[in-house]
Amino acid sequence: MSPEREIIEFDVLVVGAGPAGLAVAYHLRQLLDRSGRKDASIAVLEKGKEIGAHIISGAVFDPRGIDELMPDWLTKGAPVESKVEEDHVYYLTRKWKLGLPIIPPPLRNAGNYIISLNKFVLWLAELVEDSDVDIFAGFSGAGLLIENGQVVGVRTGDKGVDRQGQAKGNYEPGIDIRAKLTVLAEGARGSLTKQLVERFGLDVGRNPQVYSVGIKEVWEVPGSDEHRGRVVHTMGFPLASKEFGGGFIYNMDRDQVSLGLVVGLDYQDPLLDPHRKFQQFKEHPLVRSAIEGGRLVAYGAKAIPEGGYWAMPQCYFAGGMIVGDSGGLLNSMRLKGIHLALKSGMLAAEAALEAMRSNDYSASRMQRFEVLVKDSWIKDELWKVRNFHQGFNKGLWRGLLHAGLQMLTRGRGLSNRYASEPGHKRMCMRPEFPASYDPNSEVKFDQMLTFDKLTDVYNSGTAHEEDQPVHLVVLEPDLCHTRCTEEYGNPCQYFCPAAVYSMETNEDGQSRLAIAASNCVHCKTCDIMDPYQIINWIPPEGGGGPDYKGL
């Protein structure tokens, strides 16, 4: 007989222990305590095996959100790598760099801090746990519990299921975690948020969300402390002028350097490989000189929501709210979202308190959250950059012109709302696009400066239980070796930064898609960029995935 499904109940359930989710829990606990509701229960669900394991960001941190959440955050021991001491912006060609004599205001970071978000959430989670919030790490949300059109909690994934979907000896059914309010704080392209947006039509009338993928490494470079607090942003090489994105180098504490490349997931070249572009980025003299003599210590990748104000889904629903990256809260001009995540978490906590007081969790009551967001500095900040990403649809140079115009017109530019389309629709079919490189050519990774994907995955600490259902569900696998090979050349082999997908030929000469799911670093690029939208990323068994440290 299969074990019975356990049911547990909380007043408020937060899915995701990133900055937004932890801000909800921290602020709501305080509000409840102050209003004499100490008995109200809050739980946070986190799919990483421990808090922070799946958290990665650049990150130059604007303290505006944390200053409001916890004015004494620095004296409470928040881990900070450095105050920003210098800003530099360069345009790169393959060999040369051209420094901007004046740093554009959105890229000025005086008063900001360089942090490891991964360390930051670990610190914040301790304070949240100390304030009597239950945090369940290692549990993924497999599905939403919906009754009479209202979300009433989350069912966690089953544990102990084999690759064929059969229960193993250690089988444990997922738990039904029921809650009066469910707050989704899953990060970009959250799997529950995706289900919810589709089911409730929360994106109707909005621009489609568009994303970038950020690929990052941390290096230990002896002597680099001398430049602690230096922030470098780049445009140009290795991206073509039609490709959105740029690079960053941040000098952290203890001789550590954080560097990465952000690549817009709305590129045209079906063979574009963001990981390969990142390796080319490191070969540029500017980047090479920042890490020369050092060693790679950590690697990771994540999707970033870039669509801005017009692409934010409706952030409330019957029984809950959507916060942080899941709600598309990112200032893509500044490439910053942590402060917005923290603030949205605080506002969600305030809306939650009002709903609990009236014991009303209907959509019309939860709409209060949207009102709070629109009355806050989140709206002010995002409104001023509402057309930023869309301005780059025709490439870097026109994008910079649009950005300048938008800065002069409080975000308007040439029209109040620029048109947008999902990034995967911009990918060209192979016959229409001259190959940017020969995908069959041998790539020379020297394993000193440049690394192949598998070496990088090793440095992400990624591990999954091997004997479990594949968590990358290809809805029409026959399409891969027929239409996709012919039309796009199987771009999943290139856009995945963790070498999960490859085309293999069997003894009969038939080709088929092979999926090394255990390499997956949970960046969601495949779910976003697949041209046929037939890859569905679902959470693997709880606890599986990267084990990010210091990212």
**Structure-block tokens of residue 218:** 């941390």
In the chain, count of helices (H) and strands (E)? 14, 24
Strand partners, 156: 141
CB of 493 to ligand SF4, least distance (A): 10
Separation between Cα atoms, residue 56 and residue 115, nearest integer Å: 11
CB of 22 to ligand SF4, least distance (A): 23
Cβ proximity to ligand SF4: between 418 and 548 the closer is 548
Given a contact cutoff of 8 angstroms between Cβ atoms, the answer to whether 538 and 191 are in contact is yes
Phi and psi angles of residue 300, each rounded to the nearest 5 degrees, phi first: -170, 170
> Is 496 one of the binding residues for ligand SF4 (CB under 6 A)?
yes
> Is 525 one of the binding residues for ligand SF4 (CB under 6 A)?
yes
> Is 474 one of the binding residues for ligand SF4 (CB under 6 A)?
no
Residue 288 CB neighbours (<10 A): 12
> Is 551 one of the binding residues for ligand SF4 (CB under 6 A)?
no
CB of 535 to ligand SF4, least distance (A): 7
Which range touches ligand SF4 (CB under 6 A), out of 64-72, 80-88, 102-110, 519-527? 519-527
Cβ proximity to ligand SF4: between 249 and 261 the closer is 261
CB of 301 to ligand SF4, least distance (A): 7
Cβ proximity to ligand SF4: between 430 and 524 the closer is 524
Cβ proximity to ligand SF4: between 368 and 524 the closer is 524
Cβ proximity to ligand SF4: between 182 and 462 the closer is 462
Cβ proximity to ligand SF4: between 51 and 472 the closer is 472
E strand or H helix at 346: helix 338-358
Given a contact cutoff of 8 angstroms between Cβ atoms, the answer to whether 283 and 450 are in contact is yes
DSSP string for residues in 43-61 = EEEE-BSSTTTT-----EE
Phi and psi angles of residue 263, each rounded to the nearest 5 degrees, phi first: -125, 120
Given a contact cutoff of 8 angstroms between Cβ atoms, the answer to whether 315 and 369 are in contact is yes
What single DSSP character describes residue 429? P
Phi and psi angles of residue 67, each rounded to the nearest 5 degrees, phi first: -60, -35
Residue 506: exposure state from Cβ atoms within 10 A (0-12, 13-18, ≥19) = exposed
Strand partners, 145: 153
**Structure-block tokens of residue 242:** 């039609």
Separation between Cα atoms, residue 504 and residue 514, nearest integer Å: 6
Directed axis angle between helix 19-34 and helix 117-130, to 10°? 20
CB of 522 to ligand SF4, least distance (A): 6
> Is 521 one of the binding residues for ligand SF4 (CB under 6 A)?
yes
CB of 523 to ligand SF4, least distance (A): 4
Cβ proximity to ligand SF4: between 303 and 356 the closer is 303
Q: Which of 522, 542, 544, 550 binds ligand SF4 (CB under 6 A)?
A: 522
Cβ proximity to ligand SF4: between 32 and 472 the closer is 472
Separation between Cα atoms, residue 265 and residue 413, nearest integer Å: 23
CB of 539 to ligand SF4, least distance (A): 11
Q: Which of 177, 262, 341, 526 binds ligand SF4 (CB under 6 A)?
A: 526
Which range touches ligand SF4 (CB under 6 A), out of 87-95, 386-394, 396-404, 495-503? 495-503
DSSP string for residues in 58-100 = --EE-THHHHHH-TTTTTTT----EE--EEEEEEE-SS-EEE-
Cβ proximity to ligand SF4: between 332 and 519 the closer is 519
Given a contact cutoff of 8 angstroms between Cβ atoms, the answer to whether 424 and 478 are in contact is no
Q: Which of 14, 347, 427, 500 binds ligand SF4 (CB under 6 A)?
A: 500
Given a contact cutoff of 8 angstroms between Cβ atoms, the answer to whether 319 and 361 are in contact is yes
Q: Which of 252, 523, 548, 551 binds ligand SF4 (CB under 6 A)?
A: 523
Q: Which of 346, 472, 480, 513 binds ligand SF4 (CB under 6 A)?
A: 472
Cβ proximity to ligand SF4: between 298 and 346 the closer is 298
Cβ proximity to ligand SF4: between 30 and 536 the closer is 536
Closest by CA to 57, choosing from 105, 119, 130, 116, is 116
CB of 524 to ligand SF4, least distance (A): 5
For ligand SF4, how many residues bind (rule: CB under 6 A)? 13
> Is 26 one of the binding residues for ligand SF4 (CB under 6 A)?
no
> Is 117 one of the binding residues for ligand SF4 (CB under 6 A)?
no
Q: Which of 120, 520, 539, 548 binds ligand SF4 (CB under 6 A)?
A: 520
Which string of x and - marks every residue 340-379 that binds ligand SF4 (by CB under 6 A)?
A: ----------------------------------------
Cβ proximity to ligand SF4: between 109 and 525 the closer is 525
Separation between Cα atoms, residue 96 and residue 337, nearest integer Å: 31
Strand, helix or coil at 9?
strand
| Contact positions vs ligand SF4 (CB under 6 A) | 472, 496-498, 500, 520-526, 537
